[in-house]
Amino acid sequence: MIKAKIRVVLDTSILVSALKSKNPRGSPAWRILKALVAGEIENYLSGEIYEEMEHILMEIAEGTRREVLALQILTLVKKKSVFVRPRRRFSSDPEFLKKLRDPSDAKFFGVAYAKKVEYIVSENTKHIVQMRDETTKTYRFDGRKVKILKAGEFVREVLR
């Protein structure tokens, strides 16, 4: 029987964590990239998410000795992810934005909702990770739920 891929939304912070890591063989962010390449997980993103990833990695790495690495990470993520156009926009929901605190993170929830993903993986504790219920590590949408895990948690609990 073919094992179903784990459906995820990777936040930009996972790419930043991989970009700054000095130990790719022991880094959770790199383990996640490896899972993406190997087809263990299926990552969904929108044009808006990819644009943010491009600009954030440019801000950090352009003109430095990590520039090639940034290009490699972006190319890998683009090659191995599924692009979607979510219809529902959480950025226009005032209640949701009040809890999230940063409107620019709403796009990750929009894709997670549209594709009914199981996990949002993020190192952004100030905005994305704080949305979860700490007991269940889950965030509930209208009738849907998504687990929000940090990179290390995702590796330990899901990829092993």
Select the residue interacting with another protein from 6, 7, 71, 130 (CB under 8 A). 71
Radius of gyration (Cα) for the chain, nearest Å?
Answer: 15
Query: Where does this chain touch another protein (CB under 8 A) — which range of 30-38, 83-91, 113-121, 136-144?
Result: 30-38
Select the residue interacting with another protein from 6, 69, 84, 159 (CB under 8 A). 69
Per-residue interface string for the shown chain with another protein, residues 114-133, x marking contact by CB under 8 A: ---------xxxx-------
Alpha carbons 57 and 11: distance in angstroms, whole number? 13
87 binding another protein? (CB under 8 A): no
Q: Is 8 exposed, middle or buried (0-12, 13-18, 19+ CB in 10 A)?
A: buried
45 binding another protein? (CB under 8 A): no
Other beta carbons within 10 angstroms of residue 39's beta carbon come to 10
Select the residue interacting with another protein from 5, 24, 88, 101 (CB under 8 A). 24
73 binding another protein? (CB under 8 A): yes
Query: Where does this chain touch another protein (CB under 8 A) — which range of 25-33, 92-100, 106-114, 132-140?
Result: 25-33
Which amino acid does the sequence have at 145?
K
In the chain, which ranges are continuous DSSP H helix?
12-20, 28-38, 47-61, 67-80, 94-100, 106-114, 151-154
Angle between helices 28-38 and 67-80 (to 10 degrees): 40
Binding site for another protein (CB under 8 A): 12-13, 16-25, 30, 33-34, 37-38, 52, 54-56, 58-60, 62, 64-69, 71-76, 78-80, 104, 123-126
